[in-house]
């Protein structure tokens, strides 16, 4: 029997040339070996034939005698009868189509020209190549910087974003990202250790201890230093659970952390005003002195937190809050819990033509700064509250025998808000963490002293008593300024 011919002639049907496989228009079909076995795509569980990925770039031509597909980008036509033709030529066209979006990303070795967005750099193109490890590291940085849970990377929105930005990137599982985040921490720790060893002369430390709602004792140790570009930096070098907050326990734990980070030169250590912290400072001062890392014989080694001391001063003066503050708190409590009352209050605000967009907030009795924010917001809506008294019949019943706030109560609340604003602004300055604030301490403390001195001489006995109490606490920690 004669052997079949190796060259299969092409046939012309409706201006399309085809042989054993589909070919592009006006191009002679390739010479194929009919004896070569063709690979058939296996059907899936539902019994339907699986679709090739190339169909994302092709559309079937309707009302055509022969099964034909056209490219979405260049409109080239190919035969696509699955019984007699495969998708080989269609796949080849997809790989070489010049108008296909993100063509360069189909080849991992293909570089991309990008223009940096750094100011002053000019439009100097640089080449970039897809790197899987770089993408995974970027995801880890995203999770860490934005404090996202690990499951965020498995969300459909995040997957869609990554597929749109970089189709070649396969998003790893949350467990893989968790390991990557831990490895990122280890890498950054090694860099910081190397910096402390070679380039950092002095480190200032701050200690923060607290107990969580689960009755777990936590310790945070933060380092403050200046980098090689003379920029202020801070890094948390320890965040751990400790058995208790005793001075010996905290001191030994900090000593272990300093040994682990190989930190010897400590300029100062800032702690809250607690008796246990005196023990901590004494132990650390001795250890640092033995390592020849003490500066100035330790005269300024122990630094007290100004924000914490200021908080103690204000809380001591406001232990017995004036009755007027309680009445303002009841007014806010009347409006906040009920949506109906809140809507009615908003109507009164519109009638009073109050343009303030800040809404009233209820304070926490143990936090004086929240009391200040409550008074500062409520006094702006005094007219609206008085209008609410006229519109709502249940307004007066809510206060009982004490009654709603009088004009005197509003005056006292406004005076307290102005008085506490001085301490609130000073606390914000002391609590700044992005740059150094120690040079502003003297000016802030001087302004506070003048404010307390003025309050103690006030004709109003309420402010006079508050000013005297706060002044005693102030002089206990910072001494008498007049001496």
Nearest 5°: the CA angle 163, 167, 168 is: 130
Q: What is the DSSP annotation of 360-407?
A: P----TT-HHHHHHHHHHHGGGHHHHHHHHHH-THHHHHHTTS-S--H
On the question of pLDDT at 17 being above 50, the answer is: no
* Share of residues in the chain with pLDDT > 70 (%): 81
On the question of pLDDT at 133 being above 80, the answer is: yes
The candidate with the shortest Cα–Cα distance to 398, out of 473, 452, 345, is 345
Residues linked to residue 12 through DSSP beta bridges, in sequence order: 17
Question: Strands (DSSP E) along 195-343, which ranges?
Answer: 203-211, 217-226, 232-242, 266-271, 302-304
Domain locations in the chain as residue ranges: 1-37+50-101, 108-198, 206-304, 317-478
pTM reported for the whole predicted model:
0.60
Whole-number mean pLDDT of the chain? 78
The 10s digit of each residue's pLDDT in 332-391 is: 888 887 888 888 888 888 888 888 777 788 888 778 888 888 988 888 888 888 888 888
The CA distance from 374 to 360, in Å, is: 6
The CA distance from 408 to 391, in Å, is: 22
Alpha carbon distances (Å) from 127 to 58, 113, 114, 262: 31, 5, 6, 40
Asked if residue 125 lies in contact with residue 114, where contact means CB atoms within 8 angstroms, the answer is: yes
Measured between its terminal Cα atoms, the distance across the chain in Å is 123
Q: What is the pLDDT of residue 102?
A: 56
* Share of residues in the chain with pLDDT > 90 (%): 17
Burial class of residue 146 in the structure, from the number of CB atoms within 10 Å of its CB (0-12 exposed, 13-18 middle, 19+ buried): exposed
Q: What is the pLDDT of residue 126?
A: 59
């Amino acid at each position: 029997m004669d052997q079949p011919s190796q060259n299969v002639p092409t046939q012309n049907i409706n201006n399309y040339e085809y042989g054993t496989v589909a070919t592009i228009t006006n191009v002679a079909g390739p010479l194929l070996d009919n004896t070569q076995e063709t690979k058939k795509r296996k059907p899936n569980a539902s019994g339907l034939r699986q679709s090739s990925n190339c169909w994302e770039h092709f559309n079937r031509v309707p009302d055509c005698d022969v099964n034909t597909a056209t490219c979405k980008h260049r409109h080239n036509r190919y035969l696509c009868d699955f019984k007699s033709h495969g998708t080989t030529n269609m796949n080849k066209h997809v790989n070489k189509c010049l108008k296909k979006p993100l063509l360069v990303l189909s080849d991992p070795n293909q570089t991309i020209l990008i223009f940096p967005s750094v100011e002053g750099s000019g439009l100097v193109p640089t080449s970039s190549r897809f790197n899987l490890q770089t993408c995974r590291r970027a995801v880890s940085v995203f999770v860490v910087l934005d404090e996202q849970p690990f499951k965020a990377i498995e969300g459909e929105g995040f997957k869609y974003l990554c597929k749109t930005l970089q189709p070649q990137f396969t998003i790893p599982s949350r467990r893989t990202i968790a390991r990557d985040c831990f490895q990122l921490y280890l890498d950054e720790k090694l860099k910081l250790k190397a910096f402390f060893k070679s380039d950092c002369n002095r480190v200032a430390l701050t200690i923060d201890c607290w107990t969580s709602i689960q009755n777990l004792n936590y310790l945070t140790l933060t380092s403050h230093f200046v980098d090689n570009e003379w920029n202020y930096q801070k890094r948390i070098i320890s965040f751990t659970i400790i058995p208790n907050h005793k001075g010996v326990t905290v001191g030994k734990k900090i000593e272990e952390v300093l040994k682990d980070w190989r930190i010897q030169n400590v300029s100062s250590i800032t702690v809250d005003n607690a008796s246990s912290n005196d023990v901590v400072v004494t132990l650390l001062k001795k250890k640092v002195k033995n390592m020849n890392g003490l500066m100035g014989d330790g005269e300024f080694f122990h630094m007290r937190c100004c924000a914490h001391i200021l908080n103690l001063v204000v809380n001591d003066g406001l232990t017995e809050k004036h009755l007027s503050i309680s009445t303002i708190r009841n007014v806010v409590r009347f409006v906040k819990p009920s949506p109906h009352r809140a809507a009615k209050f908003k109507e009164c605000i519109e009638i009073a033509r109050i343009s303030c967009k800040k809404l009233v907030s209820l304070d926490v009795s143990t936090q004086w700064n929240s009391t200040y924010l409550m008074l500062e917001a409520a006094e702006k809506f005094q007219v609206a509250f008085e209008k609410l008294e006229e519109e709502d019949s249940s307004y007066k019943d809510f206060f009982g025998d004490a009654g709603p706030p009088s004009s005197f109560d509003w005056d006292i609340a406004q005076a307290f808000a102005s008085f506490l604003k001085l301490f609130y602004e000073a606390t914000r300055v002391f609590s700044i963490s992005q740059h150094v604030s120690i040079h502003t301490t003297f000016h802030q403390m001087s302004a506070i002293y003048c404010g307390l001195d003025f309050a103690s001489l006030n004709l109003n006995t309420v402010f006079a008593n508050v000013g005297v109490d706060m002044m005693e606490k102030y002089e206990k920690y910072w001494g008498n300024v007049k001496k």
